[in-house]
Amino acid sequence: MKIVKFSLPGRTVKKKMFSAFTLVELMVAVTIIMILSTFVSINLASARKMARDNKRISDAQVLASALDQYAASHERIYPLLGAPVGSATDYWFRNISDPTIREELSAYINPVPSDSIGPPNYKYIYAYRLDGRKASIIITKFETGNKLCNIVSDDPNLPIEVDKYLAANPACYYVSR
């Protein structure tokens, strides 16, 4: 509050003057704050998605390391979880959420990572040769699109069965052992 003195002929008058924001100024300030908070929330949402995708990549590498530890203690044979009798393919695929694979790996990694979003959209797949000599971890999907994907269509390094599996089941990331 500001007190202003002014004089009239014969007397001095004190008048109180208040300085404050006008309604228009307040509306402009609130609008600017709302616009800035919208931009921040949009950027935070995309950062969270990227963080979850990076966690998926990290989980796939940790799972692959656990598979290596398993194989090192089992004469270089990766976990064999069975296959259909008379299977025509050399590879078999299981979801990491399968209790059998979780039990096999629990001695080497505890807890066994599971996807932060959960099925059915995002999964970790364990792919293994039926002789137990090769194994892979496949991530089926990322939230941020193809920015982090390392699977290139027609990759000559992918085993034929894995390539066929990926053609029928879109996947985004592949860690081979």
- 172: which 2 tokens? 């985004």
Report the percentage of the chain scoring pLDDT > 70: 66
Q: Report whether pLDDT(106) > 90.
A: no
Residue 31 pLDDT: 95
Asked if residues 104 and 79 have their Cβ atoms less than 8 Å apart, the reply is yes
54's tokens: 């990076």
Domain residue ranges in the chain: 30-176
> Any idea what DSSP says for residue 111?
S
Confidence label for 35 from pLDDT (cuts 50, 70 and 90):
very high
Spatial separation of the C-alpha atoms in residues 4 and 22, rounded to whole Å: 21
Give residue 120's pLDDT.
59
Q: What is the mean pLDDT of residues 27-36?
A: 94
Mind listing the pLDDT tens digit for each residue in 139-176? 877 777 666 676 655 566 666 677 677 766 666 777 77
- Tell me the mean pLDDT in the region 28-42: 91
106 vs 87, more confident: 106
Cα–Cα distance measured from residue 76 to residue 17, given in angstroms and rounded to the nearest whole number: 87
CA angle in degrees (0–180, nearest 5) for 162-67-151: 35
* Whole-Å CA distances, 80 to 9, 28, 67, 102, 110: 106, 66, 11, 12, 19
Task: For residue 43, name the pLDDT band (cuts at 50, 70, 90).
Answer: confident
pLDDT at residue 36 is higher than 80 = yes
131 close to 92: Cβ distance less than 8 angstroms: no
Say how far residue 16 (Cα) sits from the centre of its chain. 61
Closest to 3 measured CA to CA, from 14, 11, 20? 14
The neighbour count for residue 166, using CB atoms within 10 Å, is 20
Residue with tokens 């496949």: 138
